[in-house]
Amino acid sequence: MIASTRNAETLQVGSTLPVMTQSFTIADLVAYGAATWDWHRMHYDQEFARARKFPNVMVDGQCYGAVMAKHALAWAGPRAFVRRLKFRMLAMTFAGDSLQAEAEVAEVRDEPAHAVVVLASRLKNGAKLTAEGTIELRMPK
């Protein structure tokens, strides 16, 4: 049995997704860097980061998009497809930090072959807004 996919017709604009937490240890940063073939020292070499006046090694900003997509798809289900993901980076994240992914349904619309659900998504580091974006999901009808 596969997980169910949300029915766009039943979704209300403004309804929120469950909050998801993503933590970043140095091991997580190394794993992400290796998985994306990105060996930039900023993500694992503390001496390199501190020489550039950063408090610790830094999460790759592109990882914010991966976290937003993971959050959206865990909620939407296996037949949902991310058609567009647009995000702005507002703050840096360092090893030892955790991000909370929040999102709500911003728009639901009908297209001939499928439904489209637009989520307004945010990543927060405690009270600090770290990234914000929109995710356009194509959903089966």
Q: Which residues bind another protein (CB under 8 A)?
A: 2, 5, 22, 28, 31-32, 34-42, 45, 60-63, 65-67, 69-70, 73-74, 78-79, 81-89, 133
DSSP the chain: -PPP---GGG--TTPBPPPEEEE--HHHHHHHHHHTT---GGGT-HHHHHHTT-SS-B--TTHHHHHHHHHHHHHH-TT-EEEEEEEEE-S--BTT-EEEEEEEEEEEEE-SSSEEEEEEEEEEETTEEEEEEEEEEEE--
Least Å distance, CB 69 to another protein, is: 5
Closest CB to another protein among residues 12, 69: 69
Closest CB to another protein among residues 11, 30: 30
Closest CB to another protein among residues 13, 31: 31
Least Å distance, CB 61 to another protein, is: 4
Least Å distance, CB 109 to another protein, is: 17
Closest CB to another protein among residues 11, 66: 66
Least Å distance, CB 16 to another protein, is: 21
Inter-residue contact 139 to 75 (CB < 8 Å): no
